[in-house]
Structure 1
Amino acid sequence: MKTAIILAAGSGTKMWPFAEVRPKAMIPVANRPIVWHQVELLEGLGFENIIIVGGSKAEQIRHCFRKDTHVKVVQTQPDKGTAFSLLSAKPLVQDSAFLVLYGDTLLDGADVERMIARFEAGPYEALALVDPLKEELPQDWICCTLSEDKLDQIMGHPRRPFTHRFCAFAFADTFWPYVETNSGLFTHVQVGTMPPLEGFLEMSVADYLQEGNVVPAVEAKGLFLDLDKPWHILTANQRVAKLQCDRLTDHILGEGASIHPSAAIDGFVKLGKGSIIGRNVVIKGNVIVGDHTTIENGAILGGNNMIGDHTYIGNYCQVSAGSVIGHKCIVTHCAEISGMIMDVVHLSHYLEFYGIIGSHTDLGAATVCGTLRYDDRYTMHRVKGRREYPREHANASYMGDYARTGVNAILMPGCKVGIYSIVGAGVIVEEDLPNRTSIYQKQELVRREWGPEQYGW
């Protein structure tokens, strides 16, 4: 098996505001797009023909892989469904068998290897890699149950407990008729559930099962992350940063990189070409730093951090454990950051932020976000009108790309700010701010005479 197809045509509306200026598959995890991690995994397994099916912003994916001869990018109609996205790749598939991944997931290479080995031990026409739901709610996913390591039932967003969700598939070319005849409607739902008019690949697999065919299932044992909503980005960055930092067993210094003797490092660092850890830096764990980045002047890093290229971190700022900083960023002047910031973000002057900051965003002096509520509970979110109760990062703030804040702006727990938006000086954001919006305070002044006579003169 040498061909893999990555389905990345969805519009990512549940990921607002982070899939507005980029495809969902291009959202960064550990400073690389999600789909970049998938391509790296596939190339490591020897795949020579990798087809990425993109949607309305497929040009960005094509640009990302413009120098990779193993990757071809095709564009299809967005939101028509994964089955029809897969059909868009068919003309480029020459092999008798192929792998299918989703463009918004991260997988463990060992799980994919086990999946391929099981498929090739067949012969099979279809095989699924599935992930145990554990604490995930079945209502959030297209789910399945297993019987003796084979798919038993498939159900879309069910109420009652189903055990697994889908990670990836392997198909023989004899499976194409089930994709080509997909009805465009997911009918395997419980009464009262309302499926969208969309051609899901899992429905083609369900049709195949319903005809009495067998679909073996391999259960994922390693990392599997399906990024569906904004807080999933934070979870993915933290987990991938920890996995990569945990691999360090010694300092690794690129050409021209250096560590000042006054730096206190309780762990190991990997520094890219020309990067510097300067005076009085404190690092409380392992850290990976890109090229030509400077960390100096009393900066404090909590460990399991990944820092991009051409970034400056200094002047007694604090980067919390597990945080990821993008390329060409500035974090300085006692700024405190916990979470993940994308490329070209400027943070300075005593601000404090927990959450995600989109690219090309700057926060004014003393901008802060609320992280705790007076009732000690977690914030309820609305995603496409549906109430959501995240298990992680519910009280984080989410700043879209190309946004700005003025001095002393406050973002309350869980609030999101859309792209191309401005939060004016002194504004308290208590609800989500739409894209392309400027919000500012209009103050009322009281003026009266004053002078020495007020003091008895």
Structure 2
Amino acid sequence: MNYLTNTMDIGNKDKLRAIILAGGKGDKIFPYNSKWQKSCLTIGNVPNIIRIIDQLEKAGIEDTVVLVDYLDTQVTYNLRDYKKVKIVKTSPNTIRNDIYNGIGDKDAIIYYGDVYVSDEDINNLLLTFINQGSCILLEKKNNNFRYSDYICANEKDGIIRSIYGHPREHYVNSRIGGVFAIENSLSEYIRYCPETFLNVPVGGMPPTEFFLEQCIMNAIEDHKEISAVYVNRPIVDMDFPWDILFANEKYCIEEVGKLEENKIGINVHISDKAKINGKLYIGDNSIIGDNVLIKGNCFIGDNTIIENGVIIEENCVIGHDSIINDYCKILSNTVIGNHNKIGFTAEISGVTFDRVSMVHHSQIFGVVGRGTDIAAGCQVAIMRFDDLENPNRVGNKVYNNRFSNAAFLGDNTRTGIGNIFYPGVKIGSNCALAPGAVIQKDVQNNKIVFVNQDLIIKDWDSDRYGW
């Protein structure tokens, strides 16, 4: 579907090029930064970079350049079937010129590869661009973020008056959404932008690096008019590990939740003993077996088996080639990856990436990395005794939201029987945890955690009970 069929003529469309920035390292998203390019993190089991390109193509934009740097081969692998997409290797020292050269003689949609924006809001941005010229997506303040953590804007009467970096609340009324529609005449502001962010509070300490937002601020100071386009649905900027949960929850609510009719693939079997209270989107060769309860809408991939007393709550996604069985429970707005094995009374809320195994009474709330094994009896503390929002430290700053108290387990890590994870802990990739370990603080990549146990042994015999 081309959302702009009735509003964008061929000439305008042919002048428009998309530039997707997919090179950032993303240290703040630990433990997923060592093995993931942020633009390739999955939302609803689809890498975000693919979701963005498909979204732009639906809107009629097929001229796309992707700038890559950190873990660039992960991006090129994901885009191997997108032959029309041009991939350009960049670096922190060359990104300014690479964006400028990528725009060339065209107008541009510049899109950060780690943001999740709805189709509706991208459509509104493009319509505004056609009718009013250069514009930026903005988001009004809500409980999911604080202005001091982002680059923000002061908007009045639909026009952006100024842009600030990590400001105090009274300077701004919105945050920058990570998608920019730029007329070609503004590209010179990218070419000559200073190598830092200038408009910050007194005492603010911006890093020495290129900021596209500073280019826009320079244009505003030269009296160029930049329109504001407010989103109708929250934007997720995947900077922190809990943002993966926000993005996938948004997908489950907005995409899975709006399914209005069943879409069943070929060779699908649904047992007469299963109870389904929502609509299903099921891929080919999948099975829903006896005594399965699906409480709401659900997306299910190809070659997946769901059987024997499984409970799946509202608006969930189950990947392809997975086995979900034996009285396990999938909570609302949860995304289960491909090639997963979830079974035997396990309970999961959040996101699992591909090839996760989780069985035997384990209860997990959070994000489970690719190829990670959740052993029997593992618990995230919030599931049972601590349901408050807990502060989570990243670097020298503390963050607090309803997902910051989840557990975040990196890729290819093995947990031990009976591990307990305190709210908010982060376990790196390639780690191993000993049985019985209580994880109270973050564990960095490539670590093994042992339990130092003291045993007290005393006499104990039948005389104790009077024989």
> Do the structures match in fold with TM over 0.5?
yes
Partner amino acid, structure 2, of 1:438: I
Change (3 A) 1:373 1:350: closer
Query: Structure 1 residues 366, 374: CA separation in 2 closer, same or farther (over 3 Å shift)?
Result: closer
Distance 2:406 2:235 in 1: 23
Distance 1:455 1:245, change over 3 A: closer
Match of 1:195 in 2: 206
Distance in 2, matches of 1:170 and 1:183, equals 21
Q: For structure 1, which segment, 32-41 or 339-348, has the greater mean C-alpha deviation from structure 2 after superposition? A: 32-41
Structure 2 CA distance for partners of 1:320 and 1:71, relative to 1, 3 Å: same
Give the conservation status (yes or no) of the 8 Å contact 1:58–1:73.
no
Correspondence list, 1:57-68, <5 A? 57-68=71-82
CA distance in 1 between partners of 2:108 and 2:407 (Å): 40
Given that 2:17 and 2:106 are in contact with CA atoms closer than 8 Å, whether structure 1 keeps it comes out as no
What's 1:394 paired with?
404
Counterpart in the other structure of 2:276: 265
Q: How many residues align?
A: 450
Equivalent residue, structure 1, for 2:359:
348
CA contact (8 A) 2:96 2:191 kept: no
Residue 141 (structure 2) aligns with: 133
Partner residue of 2:452 out of 437, 442, 447: 442
Within 5 Å, give how 1:360-439 maps onto structure 2: 360-371=371-382, 377-390=388-401, 392-439=402-449
Amino acid paired to 2:228 = A
- CA deviation map 1:431-454 (0-9, x unaligned): 111111111112222345665676
Give how far 1:173 is off. 2.2
The aligned residue for residue 219 of structure 1 is: 230
Q: Deviations over 1:358-387 (max 9, x none)?
A: 000001111111006867632111112211
| Residue number in structure 2 paired with 1:113 | 123
Q: Would you say 1:19 and 2:27 are equivalent positions? A: no
Q: Is the 8 A contact 2:19 2:102 kept in 1?
A: no
Cα distance between partner residues in 2 of 1:267 and 1:342: 24
Are the aligned partners of 1:373 and 1:413 in contact in 2 as well (CA < 8 Å)? no
For 1:198, the aligned partner's letter is E
Distance (whole Å) between structure 2 residues aligned to residue 249 and residue 143 of structure 1: 37
Give the structure-1-normalised TM-score: 0.94
After superposition, the Cα gap between the structure-2 partners of 1:265 and 1:323, relative to the gap in structure 1 and judged at 3 Å, is: same
Asked whether the equivalents of residues 220 and 226 of structure 2 are also in contact (C-alpha less than 8 Å), the reply is yes
CA positional deviation for 1:160: 2.9
Select the residue among 81, 85, 89 that pairs with 1:75.
89
* Alignment map for 1:21-420 (pairs within 5 Å): 21-78=35-92, 85=95, 87-122=97-132, 124=133, 126-135=134-143, 136-161=145-170, 162-167=172-177, 168-371=179-382, 377-390=388-401, 392-420=402-430
Task: Tell me the amino acid that sits aligned with residue 79 of structure 2.
Answer: F
Q: Can you give the 5+ residue segments of structure 1 that lack an aligned partner in the other structure?
A: none
Question: What is the letter of the counterpart of residue 80 of structure 2?
Answer: R
Query: Are the equivalent residues in 1 in contact too, given 2:265–2:284 (CA < 8 A)?
Result: yes
User: Does the CA contact (< 8 Å) of 2:291 and 2:308 recur in 1?
Assistant: yes
SS in 1 for 2:126: helix
C-alpha separation between the residues in 2 aligned to 1:267 and 1:438? Answer: 43
Structure 2 SS opposite 1:14? helix
Partner Cα distance (1:32, 1:176) in 2:
32
CA contact (8 A) 1:30 1:237 kept: yes
User: In the alignment, is the contact (CA less than 8 A) between 1:5 and 1:86 conserved in 2?
Assistant: no
Instruction: Please give the root-mean-square deviation of Cα atoms over the aligned residues, in Å.
Output: 1.9
Contact between 1:53 and 1:86, CA under 8 Å: does it hold in 2? no
CA contact (8 A) 1:371 1:395 kept: yes
> Residues 367-415 of structure 1, C-alpha deviation per residue, up to 9 Å, x if partnerless?
111006867632111112211112x213211111111111111111111
Moved more, 242-251 or 417-426: 242-251
In the alignment, the residues of structure 2 paired with residue 223 and residue 385 of structure 1 have an alpha-carbon distance, to the nearest angstrom, of 27
Partner of 2:3: none
Amino acid at match of 2:115: T
Percent identical pairs in the alignment equals 30
Question: What secondary structure, in the 3-state scheme, does the structure 2 residue paired with 1:88 have?
Answer: helix
Q: Residue 259 of structure 1: CA displacement?
A: 0.5
Distance (whole Å) between structure 2 residues aligned to residue 175 and residue 224 of structure 1: 25
